[in-house]
């Protein structure tokens, strides 16, 4: 235990005691306050722990598990903030932007690092080469995972995403086609897009967030709840988080089985892409990496990029609750 | 006292406290009544008073289950005289169609799991499906007959309370041994 962890642990204990919130560990855990839970179904393979969590959620006492189909990251953020869905697994960047905007969401834990890969043509060998280049994303703005991640990378090398890059917005499939034809210079993909680009030898990897520092040192996708749901349903929240953490461990331990399930359930037709995704993304780091560090890192980058205004400490204070994670680290071992 | 020495003392004290912190009390362990390798019906409630480790395996598994069972056999040896009177192992099959009590008895023999203290349990497909679901274990039969399943070992205290779960099979056996012993001593001191 390092000093930061100790101080943070003491702070959590004190805060819980002061607010009269008893530790959920103190006594046997009661049933969830609600047996209904709503999550999202996205096209992305990297959030497999969420896609495959239904049986584990049922084992936690949820009898009505619903997955709402969403079209992209913006849709995920909107539905979470509005309360249409209760818990999601989503990229840290847009979550920080929503906390900055005052949306009622609470980050609960990090799940894994390394979803995204930046692909470029021969004209792009490093992130700084993106100055003056054409980069494709599905959407612009703080709700778009692709845009936010690229903005953070650009800010990290001193570029201004608002004026140093020519953005085009279009669906990923169209972007991959245009990258192959050299009509755009770069594209940020998330699974199974990077696997497809590599298999088809389209462009080359400029940044892999699974392998390249500093990105590989911070969570990509984090479990996040609607704040009202978390406050009103602490037991259900903890049980949902337990199911998602177990599901992440299953992805790490049994990538072949998970890849087959992703194909069977229609997330991709390509078993090879699904298997690569499961093997490349480190799903076993949820207890190792510090989610505070992730929010601090991205909050600083997004502040530099002009996307958020609040300080990292304010973002963390307004939009996190690690109490459930700290308890589950003791209950789940691997 | 210098600040660094004070902080070192505080951190060391906190670390020691964390190491000796009792395991969480997750909730009542899901109940079950299944058929053991000797044909008797065994329920979790009958094991009240013992610390119980519940795992999920199947007898014809050729890759991971044998590693898990061997690991548990190693733990049983290290538990010494605690095993049996104070600690019990329960290995539930995820292949009830093929794993009859006889099949499980032969499987148990292969690991020297004879005598009291280690139950290998089977049941009807519906009974097994209910147990796996309640413990949060995926199990799905494949066309070729193998069973795709996840590995989860649950430690249950003498009052029947689920205290900790180990995912996979690469867990630290010494850590599980410490947890088992801590549950034995915790309940013995009451």
Does residue B137 belong to any structural domain of this protein? Answer: yes
Q: Which residue has the higher pLDDT, B3 or A39?
A: A39
Does residue B162 belong to any structural domain of this protein? Answer: yes
Contact A28 B26 (CB under 8 A): yes
Q: What is the pTM of this model?
A: 0.79
Q: pLDDT (tens digit, 9 = 90+) per residue, A56-95?
A: 898 888 999 999 988 777 788 889 999 999 999 999 999 9
Does residue B163 belong to any structural domain of this protein? Answer: yes
List residues bridging with B156 in a β-sheet: B52, B162
> What is the gyration radius of the CA atoms in chain B, in angstroms?
18
For chain A, give every residue range classified as CATH 3.40.190.10: 3-113+219-331, 117-216
Q: Please tell me the distance from the alpha carbon of residue A268 to that of residue A280, in angstroms, as a whole number.
A: 17
What's the CATH code of the domain at B139?
A: 3.40.30.10
Strands B161-167 and A332-333: parallel
Does residue B11 belong to any structural domain of this protein? Answer: no
Q: Give pLDDT, residue B21.
A: 74
pLDDT-derived band of residue B136, with 50, 70 and 90 as boundaries? confident
Q: Give pLDDT, residue B3.
A: 46
Does residue B79 belong to any structural domain of this protein? Answer: yes
What's A3-113+219-331's CATH class?
alpha beta
Q: Name the residue among A56, A45, A74 with its Cα closest to residue A281.
A: A45
**Residue B147 above 90 pLDDT?**
no
Chain A residues lying within 8 Å of B25, measured CB to CB: 25-29
Residues A151-176 have a mean pLDDT of: 91
Q: Name the residue among B144, B162, B153, B157 with its Cα closest to residue B57.
A: B153
Q: Give pLDDT, residue A28.
A: 63
- CA of B27 to nearest chain A CA: how many angstroms apart? 4
Does residue B4 belong to any structural domain of this protein? Answer: no
Contact B24 A330 (CB under 8 A): yes
Chain B residues lying within 8 Å of A59, measured CB to CB: 133-136
Q: Give pLDDT, residue A71.
A: 77
Contact A29 B27 (CB under 8 A): yes
Cα angle for residues B50, B55, B57 (degrees, 5° grid): 145
Q: pLDDT (tens digit, 9 = 90+) per residue, A218-253?
A: 999 999 999 999 999 999 999 999 999 999 988 888
Number of domains in chain B: 1
Q: Which domain holds residue B142?
A: 23-185
Does residue B6 belong to any structural domain of this protein? Answer: no
Contact A243 B134 (CB under 8 A): no
Q: pLDDT (tens digit, 9 = 90+) per residue, A34-58?
A: 999 999 998 888 899 999 899 889 8
What DSSP string describes chain B? --HHHHHHHHHHHHHHHHHTPPPP--EEPPP-EEE-TTS-EEEGGGGTTSEEEEEEE-TT--SHHHHHHHHHHHHHHHHGGGBTTTEEEEEEES-TTT--HHHHHHHHHHTT--STTEEEEB--HHHHHHHHHHHT--EEE-TTS-EEE--EEEEE-TTSEEEEEEESS-S-HHHHHHHHHHHHHHHHT-
Q: Give pLDDT, residue A191.
A: 84
A→B contacts (Cβ < 8 Å), by residue, are: 1-3, 6, 9, 25-30, 55-56, 58-60, 243, 246, 249-250, 252-254, 257, 260, 327, 330-334
- CA of A210 to nearest chain B CA: how many angstroms apart? 23
Chain A residue with CA closest to B154: the answer is A332
Question: What would the CATH number be for the domain defined by A117-216?
Answer: 3.40.190.10
List residues bridging with B149 in a β-sheet: B139
Residues A280-296 have a mean pLDDT of: 90
Residues A287-301 have a mean pLDDT of: 92
């Amino acid at each position: 235990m390092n000093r930061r962890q100790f101080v943070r642990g003491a702070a959590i204990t004190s805060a819980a005691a002061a607010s009269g919130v008893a530790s959920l560990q103190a006594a046997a855990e009661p049933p969830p306050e609600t047996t209904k839970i709503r999550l999202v179904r996205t096209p992305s393979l990297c959030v497999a722990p969420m896609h495959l969590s239904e049986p584990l959620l049922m084992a936690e006492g949820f009898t009505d598990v619903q997955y709402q189909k969403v079209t992209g990251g913006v849709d995920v953020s909107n539905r979470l903030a509005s309360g249409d869905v209760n818990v999601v697994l989503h990229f840290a960047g847009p979550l920080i932007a929503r906390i900055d905007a005052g949306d009622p969401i609470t980050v609960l834990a990090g799940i894994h690092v390394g979803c995204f890969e930046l692909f470029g043509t021969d004209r792009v060998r490093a992130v700084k080469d993106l100055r003056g280049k054409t980069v494709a994303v599905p959407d612009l703005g703080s709700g778009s995972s692709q845009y936010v991640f690229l903005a953070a990378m650009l800010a990290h090398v001193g570029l201004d995403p608002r004026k140093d890059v020519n953005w085009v917005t279009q669906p990923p499939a169209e972007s991959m086609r245009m990258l192959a034809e050299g009509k755009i210079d770069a594209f940020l993909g998330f699974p199974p897009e990077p696997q497809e680009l590599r298999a088809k030898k389209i462009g080359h990897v400029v940044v892999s967030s699974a392998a390249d520092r500093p990105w590989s040192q911070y969570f990509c996708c984090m479990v996040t709840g609607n704040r009202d749901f978390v406050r009103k349903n602490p037991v259900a929240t903890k049980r949902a988080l337990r199911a998602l953490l177990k599901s992440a461990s299953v992805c790490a331990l049994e990538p072949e089985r998970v890849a087959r399930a992703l194909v069977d359930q229609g997330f991709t037709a390509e078993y090879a892409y699904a298997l690569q995704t499961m093997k490349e993304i480190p799903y076993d780091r949820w207890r190792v990496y510090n989610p505070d560090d992730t929010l601090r890192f991205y909050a600083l980058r997004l502040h530099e990029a002009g996307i958020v205004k609040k300080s990292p400490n304010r973002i963390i204070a307004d939009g996190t609750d690690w109490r459930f994670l700290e308890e589950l680290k003791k209950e789940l071992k691997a | 006292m210098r600040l660094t020495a004070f902080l070192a003392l505080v951190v060391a004290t906190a670390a020691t406290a964390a190491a000796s912190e009792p395991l969480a009390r997750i909730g009542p362990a899901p109940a079950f009544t299944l058929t053991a390798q000797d044909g008797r019906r065994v329920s979790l409630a009958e094991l009240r008073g013992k610390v119980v480790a519940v795992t999920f395996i199947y007898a014809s598994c050729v890759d991971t289950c044998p590693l898990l069972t061997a690991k548990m056999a190693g733990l049983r040896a290290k538990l010494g005289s605690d095993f049996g009177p104070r600690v019990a192992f329960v290995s539930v099959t995820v292949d009830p169609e093929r794993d009859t009590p006889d099949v499980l008895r032969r499987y148990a023999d292969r690991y020297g799991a004879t005598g009291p203290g280690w139950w290998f349990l089977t049941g009807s497909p519906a009974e097994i499906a209910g147990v796996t679901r309640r413990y949060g274990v995926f199990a799905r039969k494949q066309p070729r007959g193998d069973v795709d399943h996840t590995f989860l070992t649950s430690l249950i205290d003498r009052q029947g309370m689920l205290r900790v779960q180990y995912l996979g099979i690469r867990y630290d056996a010494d850590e599980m041994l410490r947890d088992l012993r801590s549950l034995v001593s915790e309940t013995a001191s009451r």
